[in-house]
């Protein structure tokens, strides 16, 4: 998605968005007006990609992340960021990432494992280790920690916190009914212990959807300001 009055001779800041979870699909032939359109109005190139593990591309593509969830997905998204940096209309030093829930863990991994690619990232309600997530989901894709300890510990964002270079914004609702707030708090502690600077905002008594009253207006306004401050 290109900015209004796009000029191919200019370089624009950009944002890579995704969900990336097993069997999902974000890239579809449909019209949907959301935050991406607003960012395009504000001068951003917005890119969305479906990494390995998502649906719509056959069994092998969907199931190859089994027992190593978070790994191939992160590799694909980082490679997408590198591809974006090669486009003449994208400023290579002004590429950001954004994700929520599964996407939040992916944006965290992009900021850590892809630290030289992404200048800024937003992680909303991220799973930072599947040791803190519900077993019915975690064991579906990773089996148990006893059977597959590497699957739980080798690729989780919490173990890459020392690699952060860019600007990171963590967001979580204190009453999240899906991804427990412990995920973000423990990641924050790891970042502190590695003396990595970051921003964090908690929404009081908000669940995984982070809404109610003025909450969504505040959240997306804050995220927009963060991107403008760090990418434009």
CATH of residue 197: 3.40.50.1820
Q: State the chain's mean pLDDT as an integer.
A: 97
Is 4 inside a domain boundary?
Answer: no
What is the count of structural domains for the chain?
A: 1
Structural domain contains residue 210: yes
- Catalytic entry in 14, 101, 107, 138: 101
The predicted model scores a pTM of 0.97
Report whether pLDDT(30) > 90.
no
Residue 4 has pLDDT above 90, yes or no: no
Q: Looking at residue 32, what is its pLDDT?
A: 78
177 annotated active-site? no
What per-residue string of b and e applies to 107-133 under the rule 16 or more CB within 10 Å gives b? bbbbbbbbbebbbbbbbbbbbbbbebb
Question: In the prediction, which pLDDT does 193 show?
Answer: 98
What angle separates helix 71-85 from helix 102-113, to the nearest 10 degrees?
60
Q: pLDDT band at residue 50, thresholds of 50, 70 and 90?
A: very high
d(CA 222, CA 224): 5
14 annotated active-site: no
Q: What is the pLDDT of residue 219?
A: 98
Residue 175 lies in a domain: yes
In-domain check, residue 85: yes
Q: Which domain holds residue 198?
A: 12-231
Q: Is 203 helix (H, G, I), strand (E, B) or coil?
A: strand
Helix, strand, coil percentages in the chain from 3-state DSSP, rounded to 5: 40, 15, 45
pLDDT in tens, 87-110: 999 999 999 999 999 999 999 999
- What would the two tokens of residue 166 be? 């860019």
DSSP code of residue 61: H
> pLDDT digits over 74-87, tens only?
999 999 999 999 99
Catalytic pick from 24, 36, 175, 208?
Answer: 208
In the set 14, 76, 138, 176, the catalytic residue is: 176
* Cα distance between residue 78 and residue 72, in whole Å: 10
Q: Is 138 a catalytic residue?
A: no
Q: Mean per-residue pLDDT for 161-182?
A: 98
Q: Is 61 exposed, middle or buried (0-12, 13-18, 19+ CB in 10 A)?
A: middle
């Amino acid at each position: 998605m290109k900015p209004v009055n796009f000029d191919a001779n200019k370089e624009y800041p950009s944002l890579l968005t995704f969900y990336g979870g097993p069997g999902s699909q974000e890239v579809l032939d449909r019209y949907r007006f959301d935050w991406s359109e607003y960012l395009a109005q504000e001068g951003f190139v917005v890119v969305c990609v479906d990494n390995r593990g998502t649906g719509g591309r056959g069994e092998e593509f969907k199931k190859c992340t089994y027992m190593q969830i978070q790994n191939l997905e992160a590799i694909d998204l980082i490679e997408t960021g590198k591809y974006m940096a090669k486009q003449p209309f994208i400023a290579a030093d002004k590429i950001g990432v954004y994700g929520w829930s599964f996407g939040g863990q992916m944006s965290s991994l992009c900021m850590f494992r892809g630290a030289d690619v992404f200048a800024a990232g937003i992680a909303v309600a991220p799973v930072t280790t599947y040791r803190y997530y519900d077993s019915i989901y975690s064991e579906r894709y990773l089996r148990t920690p006893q059977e597959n300890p590497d699957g739980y510990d080798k690729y989780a964002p919490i173990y890459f916190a020392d690699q952060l270079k860019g600007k990171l914004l963590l967001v979580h609702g204190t009453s999240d009914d899906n991804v427990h707030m412990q995920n973000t708090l423990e990641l924050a502690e790891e970042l502190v212990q590695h003396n990595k600077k970051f921003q964090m905002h908690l929404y009081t008594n908000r669940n995984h959807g982070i809404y109610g009253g003025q909450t969504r207006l505040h959240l997306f306004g804050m995220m927009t300001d963060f991107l403008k401050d760090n990418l434009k």
